[in-house]
Amino acid sequence: MCTSHHTMTAEDLAELAARFAGTLPSQNELTASIFETPLPVPEGQVPPAYEPERYALAGEESGEGTRRRSEQGQDGRRRNLAFPPAPVPLPYAIVDNHTHMDLLDGEVAVTARDALDTGEALGIGAIVQVGCDVPSSLYAVRVAHADARVLAAIALHPNEAPKLEEAGQLDAALNVIEKLAQDERVRAIGETGLDYFRTGEEGVEAQQRSFREHIRIAKTYGKALQIHDRDAHEDVVRILKEEGAPETVIFHCYSGDPDLAEICNVEGWYMSFAGTVTFKNSQGIQESLKLARRDLILAETDAPFLTPHPFRGRPNASYMTNYTVRFMAQYLDADLEELCRDIRANSLDAYGSWGVEGF
Ligand SMILES: [Zn+2]
Ligand SMILES: [Zn+2]
């Protein structure tokens, strides 16, 4: 394995960004706050950055990123687009190791800076921003350079791979991912993996080829591998073993049953729990949490998706990791602060240091 610690030059990034002009915010926008001075985040109230009236009043220009999420739910009905209220801050700050700040949702389009400030006020001190295609991977790298609380994960999502293959663009896109992988702020290749839920039979070959290439890139540059696994546990484990798994493997939004948890425990693969662990019908995930080695537990939002109970269906943001970790501590009958300490330590083991105090 060869580990590269070189950083992409500003010119490299600028050249790539120029190709995707119009989909990416500027460096200044990534560090901008809508508020002149940071506002407190009162418990039980919607954080100021997520409160439509205050955020809109604070400045007209807001929001950034590559896409906006639908205002309708899967049942076709309009979703409740209000962001949930602020929980009590965590006693010890942790990492949200999988989030998509570029995917806008809800009634307000919050800047990266305001999202990070809100998270920090509630006990989420650092994040991993995750890419799903070339523009969002570029966004991840740029925001990781703009704010030290952010590290980047970059990849082509398994649901993107078949579309790219069909358009004859999969190899070109993989080349961009490999180029970006050399950046020092990129610490994971992901989210990659397999998704047999949203992509049918016809997409399996492209997904598997893309997954194998991402494993190779992670190993070549000494990066962690963040896996998206939906209804594909067996094939994900088989391909990981066939290719030889990278040193650090993370099952993002862990969705397995106790069998997969046992495999992760034996292999030393991280299990990252998202809002899904709080859902009433998630027994397999909850039992896995109970079985998981404490040194392999991570936490995430996958925001703006998978908002934890009791706010399911509403927009999600990094500050909501707080609710998920509270549920986990309660479910494990564990001390909340101790669990937070473990999650932060595990995050640093998996990704290395962010370079901000405590992380
Ligand atoms: Zn995913
Ligand atoms: Zn995701």
Per residue in 285-337, pLDDT (tens digit) is 999 999 999 999 999 999 999 999 999 999 999 999 999 999 999 999 999 99
Of residues 297, 276, 299, 296, the one with CA closest to residue 286: 276
- Higher local confidence (pLDDT), 220 or 74: 220
Q: Please tell me the number of the ligand nearest to residue 97's CA.
A: 2
Q: pLDDT-based confidence at 66, cuts 50/70/90? A: low
Of residues 187, 195, 129, the one with CA closest to residue 160: 195
Which pLDDT tens digit goes with each residue over 13-40?
Answer: 777 777 777 778 888 888 989 888 878 9
Are 225 and 249 in contact, with CB atoms under 8 Å apart? Answer: yes
Phi, psi of 217, deg, nearest 5: -60, -45
Q: Please tell me the number of the ligand nearest to residue 251's CA.
A: 1
> What whole-number percentage of the chain has pLDDT above 70?
94
User: How many contiguous H segments (helices) and E segments (strands) does the chain have?
Assistant: 13, 10
- Higher local confidence (pLDDT), 283 or 63: 283
Which residue type, as a one-letter code, is found at position 278?
T
Overall average pLDDT of the 213-235 stretch: 98
Least confident segment among 42-51, 238-247, 318-327 = 42-51
Which pLDDT tens digit goes with each residue over 209-221?
Answer: 999 999 999 999 9
Least confident segment among 64-73, 116-125, 147-156 = 64-73
Are 323 and 73 in contact, with CB atoms under 8 Å apart? Answer: no
Residues near ion ligand 1 (Cβ under 5 Å): 191, 228
Helix, strand, coil % over all residues of the chain, rounded to 5: 45, 15, 45
Give the Å distance between the CA of 264 and the centre of ligand 2: 20
If 0-12 CB within 10 Å is exposed, 13-18 middle and 19+ buried, where does residue 209 land? Answer: middle
Q: Is there a cis peptide before residue 304, judged by omega within 30 degrees of 0? A: yes
Overall average pLDDT of the 139-149 stretch: 96
Which residues, 6+ apart, have CB-to-CB distance to 214 below 8 Å? 155, 156, 177, 189, 190, 192, 225
Q: Which two tokens stand for residue 155?
A: 């990849």
Q: What pLDDT is attached to residue 162?
A: 97
Which pLDDT tens digit goes with each residue over 96-109?
Answer: 999 999 998 888 88
Integer Cα distance of 42 and 121 in angstroms: 10
Buried b (16+ CB within 10 A) or exposed e, 301-318: bbbbbbbbeebbebbbbb
Give the Å distance between the CA of 38 and the centre of ligand 1: 32
Give the Å distance between the CA of 302 and the centre of ligand 2: 5
Give the Å distance between the CA of 12 and the centre of ligand 1: 28
Give the Å distance between the CA of 57 and the centre of ligand 2: 31
Give the Å distance between the CA of 229 and the centre of ligand 1: 7
Where do the structural domains in the chain lie, given as residue ranges? 82-351
Integer Cα distance of 58 and 54 in angstroms: 6
Q: pLDDT-based confidence at 58, cuts 50/70/90? A: low
Q: Please tell me the number of the ligand nearest to residue 194's CA.
A: 1
If 0-12 CB within 10 Å is exposed, 13-18 middle and 19+ buried, where does residue 38 land? Answer: middle
Give the Å distance between the CA of 40 and the centre of ligand 1: 32
Q: Cα 193 to the chain's mean position, in Å? A: 14
Which pLDDT tens digit goes with each residue over 145-173?
Answer: 999 999 999 999 999 999 999 999 999 99
Give the Å distance between the CA of 54 and the centre of ligand 1: 32
pLDDT of 4 over the 50 cut: no
Integer Cα distance of 191 and 214 in angstroms: 9
Average pLDDT along the chain:
92
Q: What pLDDT is attached to residue 14?
A: 75
Are 80 and 312 in contact, with CB atoms under 8 Å apart? Answer: no
Q: Please tell me the number of the ligand nearest to residue 132's CA.
A: 2
Q: What pLDDT is attached to residue 29?
A: 84
Give the Å distance between the CA of 191 and the centre of ligand 1: 6
pTM for the predicted model, two decimal places: 0.94
Which pLDDT tens digit goes with each residue over 170-209?
Answer: 999 999 999 999 999 999 999 999 999 998 899 999 999 9
pLDDT of 81 over the 60 cut: yes
Give the Å distance between the CA of 197 and the centre of ligand 1: 12
Q: Cα 114 to the chain's mean position, in Å? A: 17
Q: pLDDT-based confidence at 87, cuts 50/70/90? A: very high
Look at the domain 82-351 and name its fold.
Answer: TIM Barrel (3.20.20)
Are 155 and 214 in contact, with CB atoms under 8 Å apart? Answer: yes
If 0-12 CB within 10 Å is exposed, 13-18 middle and 19+ buried, where does residue 285 land? Answer: buried
pLDDT of 279 over the 60 cut: yes
